A and B are shown apart, each in its own frame.
Chain A
Amino acid sequence: MRHRAVAFTALACALFVSGTHAQTLSGEYKLGVLEPLTGPLAFEGKRHLEGLEIVRDMINERGGVMGKKLTFALADATDPTVAASEANRLITREGVKIIVGTFSSRLCGAASEVAARHNVIYWETSCVDPRFNKRGLKTVYRTEIDATGFGWYNVEFIAKHLAPRFNLRPNQLKIAFLSEDSSYGQGVTESARQRAKQEFGMQELATDYYNFTTINDMTPIVLKLKQLNPDIVHHIGFGNDAVLFWRQSKEQNFLFKALVHAGATGYGGADFGKALGNDANGVFALLEPGPGFRLEALRPEGQKIERDFREAVQKRTGSYPLGGHQLAGPGLWLLKIVLDRAGTDEPDKFNAAVMSLDLPVGSTMNGWGVKFSETGQNANERVQHYMLQWQNGQLVTVWPEEFTTHRAKWIPLGPWDQRK
């Protein structure tokens, strides 16, 4: 009898808890989510989806969006054609008013065109193609900086942090540019080239582009660069190409002072460290914050949400948030802020809410702030980025120094066998 009473009480409590939950979230709000989940871009697309799902759950634990439970209508964008047709399906069949996606610069252009044509909001959390926000599409927004921002930050780091530590002036630096040929790689590289040359007078020795899906041997380019003898190799890699370049540089004993990359792929992906272990030591990658990032450097509200985000990622994946998580998740969080503020997904009111948002650096996840331009692009200077370095199997935050407890090592890079 007593057992039955306990069970009854427990059941009543459970019903009460679920009841209160249902009261706070009345109904569902369906968001279209478009990511490459099969095919060659899937490895990163799935990570982005994981980031979105983690933050979706965080949002639902914190009152949902506009008081409703957030749910996803999911679509798989394997290539630009499929991205466009799936965006179409999400809008016409699923009836979504907002699409979030698609991480890749190869996909976001096609998908956002479709959304804009249907007057549906397209909320991009990654895809750093500089052309994305320059097409006059009224309902298209991007929370992450574009590739020109990446190039800007990389040259900032090279000129203001590395050059003094080499005891060289920026205009004495010899720099070689190497990149995979996607619009992302080209966007970062071209903006870095321009700033390095025009603002700092760095000496450009070479610029080489290649297709990362068909590159099987990096030795020819390693040999070519070795003869040119650069101080800095600015290499935007995507996947295996980064591993191949680094391994073959070691084989050919190609010595340079630093390698700088940008983005969560190639040198910036966890796989690079897995492939090379301690041989990866010394590589720089511009990213969202990693281990060593000082929460105290953020504003109080930013500290809280960043801590919760890290814990949620840790709980789901067992690791520190990876690049994909850190672009998709915080991007979705900003969408929640906008939707709660607008109270509707009607494009004009939504746009007014986006434009009125003005949060300083350090206000939200990743230490980001928010200030959208008229074109729907979040400002470079608000979306704070960080230089990370591979140190003994881990990517740690090393710059800007006020945001981190770690310091950059191996400047300049010594002989290959002495980077321990």
Chain B
Amino acid sequence: MDPARPLGPAQIDAVAQLGVSTILLGGIYALIAVGLTLIFGIMRVVNFAHGEFLMLGMYLAFWSFTLWRVDPYFVLVVAIPLFFVVGLVTYVLVMKGVITASHNVQIFTTFGLSILLQNVALVAWSGDFRFVRPWHLSVALRIGGTTFNLSQVVAFVIAVVLTVALVAFMKWTHTGRVMRATAQDRDAATLMGIDTDRVYRLTFAIGIAAVGAAGVLVAPLYSVYPTAGLQFVLLSYVVVVLGGLGDMAGALIGSLIVAAVEVAGSYVFGIAWKEIFYFLLFILVLVFRPAGLFGQRGSETLGA
């Protein structure tokens, strides 16, 4: 039977549900990608350890829930400042030394950090799949013929709020302007009296705080294990490139596009095809609009 047969009520419900799945899955991708695009856009650093900070956020949610029965939504309050500090420390210990080095050095450094964190997690918490099961995970809201998982709805709402907040921060605050100025021309910014080291430190810390928060939020939806981050990190790069480097709103829209391609491709052609479609899209965007769908033309080379 072909899923694309003539439309009946069941098919309309299925299409509506696919739409809902796209939005909810896109929310999760956006949550993860927004921190990456910030670091990528302003520091021009390809952070290969991004997925591992996500994994650490997931473990924070897991242990808080297992040891003290704290719901992930409450953990979020602690997670954001905690990961901000983790970001600051990581910047000072690791990133600061390579921030002016070549991209190759930066890639090797963050890749090394990624392997290090994965294996620290493996030694500390074993390779077992762990699960967080708060009450809201099994709550499904039914509207018409469609179903919304409550945890996913909350993750989506927080993704939107986080994106809007970051966009506003970048656009209207003095610090945000300073960060954008540094992204556009590091040397000129230094000449204007901007402490670029402080800007990078702050950027990295905000990016890590965002991905740490994302880890806490997605922990109930997926298994928690040392390489959990790998499941999302490659995809986050597709999202970031699609949306335009450093463009937060672009990351949100890019996430929705990737999710739509994944959901529709899986349904119509089979799940094996989903990666073919979104990597094809990735290549097309790189060929025809290297700055991303929404990025400023030429922004990909800025500050390089």
Contact = CB atoms under 8 A, between A and B. Distances in A.
Contacts of B14: 223, 226-227
A181 B272 CA distance: 9
Contacts of A46: 126-127
A269 interface: yes
B223 A42 contact: no
Main secondary structure of the interface of B (DSSP, over half): helix
A214 B128 contact: no
Main secondary structure of the interface of A (DSSP, over half): helix
> Which one of A205, A252, A279 has the highest number of Cβ atoms from chain B below 10 Å of its Cβ?
A252
B164 interface: no
Interface in B98-138: 118-119, 122, 126-131, 133, 138
Contacts of B149: 251
Contacts of B263: 217, 219-220
Nearest to B10: A227
Contacts of A45: 127
B17 A219 contact: yes
B223 A243 contact: yes
A274 B263 CA distance: 28
Given A42-B226, A209-B272, A251-B147, A220 B267 contact: yes
Given A38-B119, A205-B1, A275-B133, A221 B127 contact: no
Interface size bracket, A side: 35 or more
A217 B264 CA distance: 11
Given A220-B21, A223-B14, A214 B275 contact: yes
Contacts of A251: 140, 147, 149
Given A181-B272, A251-B140, A251-B149, A40 B227 contact: yes
Contact of A43 (B17, B127, B222, B275): B127
Contact of B3 (A215, A224, A269): A224
B225 interface: yes
A97 B127 CA distance: 30
> Which one of B225, B232, B271, B274 has the highest number of Cβ atoms from chain A below 10 Å of its Cβ?
B271
A228 interface: yes
Contacts of B133: 275, 277
B18 A219 contact: yes
A18 interface: no
Contacts of B272: 181, 208-211
Given A214-B234, A227-B14, 12 more contacts: A39-B122, A42-B226, A44-B127, A216-B231, A219-B17, A220-B21, A220-B271, A239-B223, A240-B223, A252-B147, A271-B131, A275-B131
22 contacts: A38-B118, A40-B227, A42-B226, A44-B127, A205-B1, A209-B270, A211-B272, A215-B271, A216-B235, A219-B21, A220-B262, A220-B267, A220-B271, A221-B267, A224-B3, A227-B1, A239-B223, A240-B222, A240-B231, A271-B130, A275-B129, A275-B131
A-B CB proximity, top 5 nearest: A43-B127, A42-B127, A220-B266, A210-B271, A220-B267
Interface of A: 38-40, 42-46, 181, 205, 208-211, 213-217, 219-221, 223-224, 226-228, 239-240, 243-244, 250-253, 269, 271, 274-275, 277, 279
Interface of B: 1, 3, 10-11, 14, 17-18, 21, 25, 28, 118-119, 122, 126-131, 133, 138, 140, 147, 149, 222-223, 225-227, 230-232, 234-235, 259, 262-264, 266-267, 270-272, 274-275
